[in-house]
Structures are given as structure tokens and as C-alpha cells.
Amino acid sequence: MTKDSKIKYTPGDYGKKRLSGAAWAEFNVKNWSRAAEKRTKKQPENGIFPCICFSRQIGVGALKIADLLAERLPFRVVDREIIEFMAKEKDLTKKAVEYFDERYPGIMSELFTMLISEKTFLKSDYARQLAKTVTALAGLDSTIFVGRGTHLILPRENVLAVRFIAGNEYRISRLSGLLGISWEQAESRIKTMDKEQKAFFKSVYQKDEAGPDEFDLVINLRYLKDAAQAVEIVACAFEQKFGSMT
């Protein structure tokens, strides 16, 4: 085992301490029913709040943008680790659906039935559980989803879908700086994670790549000064599409 292989990197990580998927779920399960009682937002007719879905090349820094954007709107951020954890814990997704159904009887069942019939790529048990997880979360509050192809699951009229790209040099340089590893080591990491991401999308969505026609915006971070500029671009696009949330 090489020295750099011991340095853990989770796609999206940029040094900020975050709740694990398990800790996030535990906290939110305790607060979902309480939050539902206090909610002032009007539930949309189809049950899904307007959401922002980030798709990204690995290593571009999309999670940092999501965190900053959540303060700007404000929304909550659900990252890849949270989505993965809940998709594997069926009881948690069941609780989320139950909380939703208590306030809006029948809507979630109708919505999920429609999704399964329209999204023909949702064939495996895992894909269906993933879809149920994402749908339940989107029905509980306005959310910024980061990763796992959530824009392909949710009703398109409820989603601002954003794709972040940056090119290999930018991504390798950024990862090298974050982890304190060599260019060659970072390049190897990026190649491995790109392959893993591609395999996931092929397995779950039967797609080889993310086409630009899937998104409202494709943003090349290589040509922006910093994350704050990307935040303003996305916030403006969201408000143009859905109106102000404040």
C-alpha cells in the first residue's frame, strides 16, 4: 500500500467537517415530524418542493458551492454520503415517506408510481430504493442534492439541474492541493473515481455519460474566480425559474 492510498478522500470533500450519513439521518428523523408541524412553506401540488440538483465531475468542488448556496437561499444540503446511507437503510426512507404521508395522504404513493412508470431505467431494487429515498427527501423540504444523478429521478419541472465541469488539469491540481499529494498520485485518484462514477451511472441509470441537454446550466469552474461566483449564478437561475424563496 502506498502512502497516498492511506489518505481518505470522499468525492465532494473540501475540508469542512460534516455530519456522517448516519448522524444526519438520526438528527433529521427526530425533527421531521416537528418540522412538518411548523412548516410555513406551501406544499406544491405534485408534492415536491423546488430543488437544486448538482451533477459534477469528481474533484471540482461542488459540495462547497452547495454549502455556500444553502446559506444564500436558504436550503438544506443532501450530499452523496447521506443519499447513499438512506438508500441502503430502508427503514429510514420508510419513516420519511410516513412523515410526508401524514400531512399529504396519497401524494407520495401516486408520485412514486408515476416515477416508476416514466423512468424506465429504474429497474434494479437499489435504483428503486434510491428513487424512493430522493423523492421522500424532496417532498419534505427544499433541498440541494449533490451527486448520485438525482436530477434524473425527480420531476423535471421541480428541478434546477446544474452540471459542474472543470477539466482534468483543474481537478488534478485541486485534489493534489487538498490532500497534499503529488500530481501523479492525484491524477491516479481522479481516474479511479471517474471510473467508479461512470460504473454507477451505467448500473443505475443505463447511461454512459451526462449529456448537456439534461441540465439547465453547465458551469465550467475553471473560468470562474471562486465558488462565490458560481453560487450567484445558480441562485439567480433558480430565482428566475422558481421565484424567490425568501
Strand partners, 161: 53
Distance from the first to the final alpha carbon of the chain: 50
User: What is the spatial distance between Cα 133 and Cα 158, in angstroms, rounded to a whole number?
Assistant: 16
**Whole-prediction pTM:** 0.86
Tell me the domain boundaries of the chain. Answer: 45-242
User: What is the spatial distance between Cα 117 and Cα 110, in angstroms, rounded to a whole number?
Assistant: 11
Q: What is the CATH number of domain 45-242?
A: 3.40.50.300
* Digitized pLDDT (tens) for each residue of the chain, 246 residues in all: 445 555 666 666 666 777 788 888 777 776 665 555 555 566 666 678 899 999 999 999 999 999 999 999 989 999 988 888 888 877 777 777 777 677 666 677 777 777 777 777 777 888 888 888 888 888 888 899 999 999 999 989 999 999 999 999 999 999 999 999 999 999 999 999 999 999 999 988 888 888 889 999 999 999 998 999 999 999 999 999 998 866
